[in-house]
Chain A
Amino acid sequence: MSINRIVRIACLAGIAGFSAGVSPAALAAEEVTLYTTREPGLIKPLLDAFTEKSGVQVKTLFVKDGLAERVATEGANSPADVLMTVDFGNLIDLVDKGVVQPVKSDALNAAIPANLRDADGRWFALSTRARVLYASKDRTDLKSFTYEDLADPKWKGKVCIRAGQHPYNTALIANMIAKDGAAKTEEWLKGVKANLARKAGGGDRDVARDILGGICDVGLANSYYVGLMRSGAGGPDQVKWGEAINVILPTFEKGGTHVNVSGAAVAKNAPHAANAVKLLEFLVSDEAQELYAKANFEYPVKAGVKADPIIASFGELKIDPAELTAIGKNRKAASELADKVGFDN
Chain B
Amino acid sequence: MSSRPPPRQMPRGAPERGWRLAGMAVALIVLAPILAIVAVASGAAEGVWPHLVAYVLPEAIRQTAILVAGVGILVVTMGTGLAWLVVAYDFPGRRLLEWALLLPLAMPTYIVAYAYLDILHPVGPVQSLLRAALGITSPRDLGFPDVRSMGGCILLLSFVLYPYVYASVRATFLVQAGGVVEASHSLGAGRFRTFLSIAVPLARPAIVAGTTLALLETLNDIGASEFLGVRTLTVSIYTTWINRGSLAGAAQIALFMLAVVMTLVVVERIARRHADYADAEPGRLKPKRLQGWAAVTATAMAALPVLVGFLIPVLHLCNEAYRRLRFAGFSHNLVDAIRNTASLAVVATVVTLVLATAIIVALRLAAQRGPREVRRVGMLARLASLGYAVPGTVLAIGLMVPLATIDNAIDAALRASLGLSTGLIFSGTVFALIYAYAMRFLALAIGGMEAGLAKMPLTLDDAARTLGAYSGGLIRRIHLPLLWPAMASAAILIFVDCMKELPATLLLRPLDFETLATQLYAEASRGTYEDGAVAALLIVLVGFLPVVGLARLSRHGFVRPRRSSSRRGSGTDSEIDGDLTAGPQPGF
Contacts and interface: CB of A to CB of B under 8 A. Distances in A.
Given A74-B424, A342-B59, 16 more contacts: A2-B481, A7-B350, A14-B346, A64-B507, A64-B525, A65-B241, A70-B400, A77-B423, A79-B423, A199-B146, A201-B148, A209-B121, A213-B123, A213-B127, A238-B527, A336-B244
Contact of A202 (B227, B480, B518, B529): B227
B528 A233 contact: yes
B500 interface: no
A51 interface: no
A201 B411 contact: no
Interface residues of A, number: 77
B409 to A, nearest CB: 10
A18 B430 CA distance: 9
Contacts of A96: 245
Contact of B428 (A7, A39, A74, A225): A74
- Point out which of B229, B342, B509 has the most chain A C-beta atoms below 10 A from its C-beta: B229
Contacts of A10: 346-347, 349-350
A213 B143 CA distance: 12
Given A213-B121, A331-B243, A198 B148 contact: yes
5 contacts: A39-B522, A41-B526, A165-B239, A170-B243, A200-B229
Interface stretch (A54-62, A103-111, A305-313): A54-62
A199 B229 contact: yes
Nearest to B347: A14
A257 interface: no
Contact of A40 (B63, B244, B509, B522): B522
B244 A64 contact: no
A13 B344 CA distance: 10
Contact of A14 (B63, B350, B480): B350
A62 B513 CA distance: 9
A201 B244 contact: no
A205 interface: yes
B243 A167 contact: yes
Interface in A54-95: 59-66, 69-70, 73-79, 89, 93
B530 A13 contact: no
Nearest to B525: A39
Nearest to A97: B245
A201 B427 contact: no
B123 A33 contact: no
A4 B384 CA distance: 24
Among A2, A42, A60, A73, find the residue whose CB has the most chain B CB atoms closer than 10 A: A73
Interface string A1-38: 01100010011011111101100000000000100000
Contacts of A340: 54-55
A269 to B, nearest CB: 11
B587 interface: no
Contacts, number: 207
A75 B404 contact: yes
Contacts of B340: 17, 21
B327 interface: yes
B527 A228 contact: yes
A62 B522 contact: yes
A200 B226 CA distance: 10
B182 interface: no
A203 interface: yes
A180 interface: no
Nearest to A341: B55
A214 B408 contact: no
B55 A339 contact: yes
A329 to B, nearest CB: 11
Contacts of A240: 123
A146 interface: no
Contacts of B247: 69
A71 B265 CA distance: 36
Contact of A79 (B55, B346, B353, B511): B511
Contact of B526 (A11, A39, A74, A198): A39
Interface in B471-520: 480-481, 484, 487, 503, 506-507, 509-513, 518
A77 B424 contact: yes
Contacts of B339: 17, 20-21
